[in-house]
Structure 1
Amino acid sequence: MQLALVHAKYQLLETIRIPVAVIGSTFFPAASMLFFVVPFAGDDPVGATFATASMVTFAVMISNLFQYGIGVSEDRAQPWDPYTRTLPAGAFPRFAGRILAGLVMLALPIIPVVIIAAVATEATITVGGFLAGLGVVVIAALPFTLMGLAIGYALPSKAALAVAQLIFFPLAFGGGLLSAPGNAPGFIEMIAPYLPTRGAVELMWAAVGNFEPNPVSLVSLLCWIVAMGALAVWAYRRDEGRRFS
């Protein structure tokens, strides 16, 4: 665990030294709050609360997709990455350190969303709801963390950037993150339960307000976690086999 903390510190320092990477992960969720939530749902306590939960889920998705998808692929292109794979400590410290760093970095896009909600909307939340929301953030991060790792280990950096950019908006729109619960267009309501974003945001809605998640969405979320975990492991082993066999 001590080695994992060292790797996490290294990952955090490396990210902070490139400010544009931090700014990029915080811009979209904060901008979405300002342009879509504040004008249209800011005066409705229930609507603003659910919309803020959606934007928090949006922030979690973007942060993990780009941080792991692009970050891992860029690391693979550096000589330091193959060197660390030769060390006797194994893969666990690097994986654990990257996950810990990612959890810390999640605060950067989420904090502006919460501040905007508190200052510019009528969103309300109880202490219990806030703590439950923090727990849901960790669960919601799982499929997108694993998806980012799969992209990062399977693709070179330019391709990883393109893929992350191509999939984040369809996942957000298709999962109903840009609309209130039950108010998305009909075709979105049909496909949303089968996307990981929907299960994640329904858990978030349930944590902060009076909402009952759809069992189909929750089962689908679990299936996505398992599938993305298997894909990430496959991509890692494939990359290892190509460069070290």
Structure 2
Amino acid sequence: MSSTATTPALETKSQLHLIRTHTRAQVLEQLRIPVAVLSSTIFPTLALVFFVLPQTAVTSNPLASLTAIAQLAVFGVMSAFLFNYGIGVAEERANPWSSYVRTLPAGAIPPTVARALTAMMFAFFALIPVLVVGALTTAGMDLYVDGTLSWWRLPFSVAVWLLCGLPFLCLGLMIGYLCTSKVAIAVTQVVFFPLAFAGGMMLPPEIFSSGLDLFSRFLPSRAARDLSVSALSGEPFELGAVACFLAWTAVLGAGAVWANRRDQGRRFR
């Protein structure tokens, strides 16, 4: 009885140890390329500086400022997850060391969870400058200073932005496991920009035509954008956006698991 009872606990402890080990290894791997880390960290902030700050009509309007900050924040998370993992996983598949690691009896869960944790950590570091620059250069924080919005929304928004990147992390993993490195670069670019544009991250959905707006509401990028804006600005969220986000996360998550197993079966069995 005792051995049977302790087996699940030991397995859980072993899985947590493997996740911690894989996470540490992937963080160190990312830090070995400082330019890539720096570029992905400052990209959302540069987008805010170049595309939002010159528009005084936006920066002088608190609600419009918060909307722009939220859109660019989730835009940065989306780009980081898609490009780092869509292209990165495809390149790792051609790496002999990565191929060897995948033959070890650790299973697919520890490295996959470690990828998600590593991606969220670096995305978190990219979101802080966006909030700081947005607070210093736009009127967005006026709604927090005058008490219209509660300060707890700021850390809550960062958490929402990171969670909103999960479907794109899964999509990046699926692309990485299905494509070679050269093909993954093209596929990621073709997927990323239409999703970002139709999702309302480059232009506000309010100026979309009725047909594009309707189509946009069925995309994971639009759901992520709407939830992100709602978290930061206090605008009411739609249940349809929540349902769309959860559905896409489940579908793309299943696709990532299938692509991983497909690649594992073709190369190592």
Is TM more than 0.5 here?
A: yes
| Residue 26 (1) aligns with residue 41 (2) | yes
> How far apart are the structure 2 equivalents of 1:58 and 1:150?
19
Q: Give me the identity figure in percent.
A: 40
Give the equivalent residue in structure 1 for 2:8. Answer: none
**Conserved in 2, the CA contact under 8 Å of 1:57 and 1:201?**
yes
* 1:223-242 pair list within 5 angstroms: 223-242=247-266
Give the equivalent residue in structure 1 for 2:69. Answer: 52
Gaps of 5+ in 2: 1-15, 145-149
Structure 1 188/27 Cα, relative in aligned 2: closer, same or farther at 3 Å? farther
**Conserved in 2, the CA contact under 8 Å of 1:47 and 1:180?**
no
State TM-score, norm by structure 1: 0.93
> How far apart are the structure 2 equivalents of 1:97 and 1:29?
23
- Quote the offset at 1:204 in angstroms: 1.2
Give the equivalent residue in structure 2 for 1:212. Answer: 236
**Conserved in 1, the CA contact under 8 Å of 2:103 and 2:268?**
no
Question: How many residues are paired up?
Answer: 245
> How far apart are the structure 2 equivalents of 1:159 and 1:111?
33
Gaps of 5+ in 1: none
- Quote the offset at 1:27 in angstroms: 4.7
Give the equivalent residue in structure 1 for 2:178. Answer: 154
- Quote the offset at 1:174 in angstroms: 0.1
> How far apart are the structure 1 equivalents of 2:236 and 2:161?
17
- Quote the offset at 1:83 in angstroms: 1.4
| Residue 65 (1) aligns with residue 82 (2) | yes
> How far apart are the structure 1 equivalents of 2:69 and 2:35?
24
Give the equivalent residue in structure 2 for 1:121. Answer: 138
| Deviations 1:58-90, CA, capped at 9 Å, x for gaps | 011001101111111111111112211222222
* 1:131-142 pair list within 5 angstroms: 131-142=155-166
Q: Specify the code of the residue in structure 1 equivalent to 2:140.
A: A
Please identify, of 44-53 and 219-228, the stretch whose mean Cα deviation from structure 2 is larger: 219-228
Give the equivalent residue in structure 1 for 2:223. Answer: 199
**Conserved in 1, the CA contact under 8 Å of 2:42 and 2:129?**
no
**Conserved in 1, the CA contact under 8 Å of 2:123 and 2:162?**
no
Please identify, of 45-54 and 5-14, the stretch whose mean Cα deviation from structure 2 is larger: 5-14
> How far apart are the structure 2 equivalents of 1:238 and 1:34?
42
**Conserved in 2, the CA contact under 8 Å of 1:52 and 1:113?**
yes
**Conserved in 1, the CA contact under 8 Å of 2:227 and 2:241?**
no
The runs of at least 4 consecutive aligned structure 1 residues that moved more than 4 Å come to none
Query: Who wins on radius of gyration, i.e. which is larger?
Result: 2
| Deviations 1:123-160, CA, capped at 9 Å, x for gaps | 12432211321231232011011001101111111111
> How far apart are the structure 1 equivalents of 2:62 and 2:175?
38
Structure 1 189/200 Cα, relative in aligned 2: closer, same or farther at 3 Å? same
> How far apart are the structure 2 equivalents of 1:175 and 1:25?
20
Give the equivalent residue in structure 1 for 2:192. Answer: 168
- Root-mean-square deviation (Å): 1.7
2:103 aligned to 86, 106, 122, which one? 86
> How far apart are the structure 2 equivalents of 1:20 and 1:98?
19
- Quote the offset at 1:183 in angstroms: 3.4
| Deviations 1:74-127, CA, capped at 9 Å, x for gaps | 111111122112222222221222111111111233223222202211112432
1:184 aligned to 202, 205, 208, which one? 208
**Conserved in 2, the CA contact under 8 Å of 1:29 and 1:55?**
yes
> How far apart are the structure 2 equivalents of 1:97 and 1:230?
17
